[in-house]
Amino acid sequence: MVDAATSTTRWLADVADRAVSLISAFQDRSGAYPASPNFSAYAGYCWFRDGAFIADAMSAAGRYDSAEAFHRWAATALIGWRGRVDAIGAATSILHVEHLLLPARLRLDGSEASDEWANHQVDGYGTWLWALGEHLRRTGSPAEPWLPAIEVVVDYLLAVGTMPCFDWWEERPPGVHPSTIACVAAGLRSASGMGVLDAARNHAARAECDALLERLAWGASSTGYLPKSEGSTAVDAAAIAAVGPLRVVGGSLGLATLATVEARLVDGAKVYRFEADQYYGGGPWPLLSAMLGLAWLEYGNEARARELLDWVVTTEDIRGWIPEQARGRLLHPEELAVWRGRWGPSATPLLWSSAMALRLIVALRPGLS
């Protein structure tokens, strides 16, 4: 007779297998991960942030080939921007180079999109460096072949890492966001730890990382938690990533941030982005529940991580697809029809959602065996 623990382990292994299969099936031959293959606003585009988290999940699950293909895709684009980043670094005012700022998303073939999308987001570049570092650590592969791309990103983050930009959710107006700062800090720390940067870049990356971590602590001094943006008391679930999986914030500040998110943005195991969220009515995001599970594991709270994962898995449809937003209470239901009229039903599948479920399953597997 199969006991309950064994049954649960097999069930989650099946979920993980479906996530790997889904991501593999939709990964472009270029190596890029489309945000969602059939949602009009996302299809044909890959975000550095989403892609980095997806690649990290595939790498953690042992699908090194998939992660490596994504990193090669990203590195090719980054190396091509060497001149732009040099021009940004040499400018006397950032106002003179706004047209050179790097995009948050690219077409799957690596070309830039000429549209009105809120494209200046720095978080994706820090997240890419972090994900690359995690992949190289797992595989034991050398960092030297990646050095030209690593140098481009380090120089870019040193130049614009604290410049006001759009947040993870592309909200206007631009600001300085702890979730973005955490991604930049994680990337610079990762790059410094690879042992391939020249002395000057390595020193600058380390110093900037330390300064950013101090800035996060300072920015939380009046609230006790990481706020949505500097000078704000609003809460944003994107701050979860600073605790896990990025691991740049811990201790009492990390715990207070998770507790605040739980109190203000969580309904059972359903995690919402932020209180003013109107996008598709502001429903719960499975990827954020999985990310919250990863963050709670940093404090040894496996039971809560399991609760969050259990709900995430229930959002799978019959095809094994996990959506961007799942069914649940809407924060602003009056806005749902507006977004459906603009773009149709919300994104399903969202590859990032499946990736975060996969990443949490991999993190929990020792406790499930």
Which residue numbers are catalytic?
Answer: 167, 170, 324
Token output for 41: 């606003």
Q: Taking Cα atoms as reference points, which of 120, 127, 128, 159 lies closest to residue 146?
A: 128
Burial class (CB in 10 A: 0-12, 13-18, 19+), 195: exposed
Contacts of 22 (CB under 8 A, 6+ apart): 320, 321, 349, 351, 354
Contacts of 7 (CB under 8 A, 6+ apart): none
- Do 321 and 22 form a contact (C-beta atoms < 8 A)? yes
Judge whether 83 and 65 are in contact, CB under 8 Å. no
Under DSSP, the state recorded for 47 is E
Residues 6 or more apart whose Cβ sits within 8 Å of residue 351: 22, 23, 26, 33, 34, 35, 36, 37, 50, 54
CB 12 within 8 Å of CB 361: yes
Burial class (CB in 10 A: 0-12, 13-18, 19+), 319: exposed
Distance separating alpha carbons of residues 128 and 206, to the nearest angstrom: 17
Residues 237 and 364: their CA atoms lie apart, in Å, by 21
Asked whether 255 and 248 are in contact (CB, 8 A), the reply is: no
Report the distance separating Cα 151 and Cα 130, nearest Å. 13
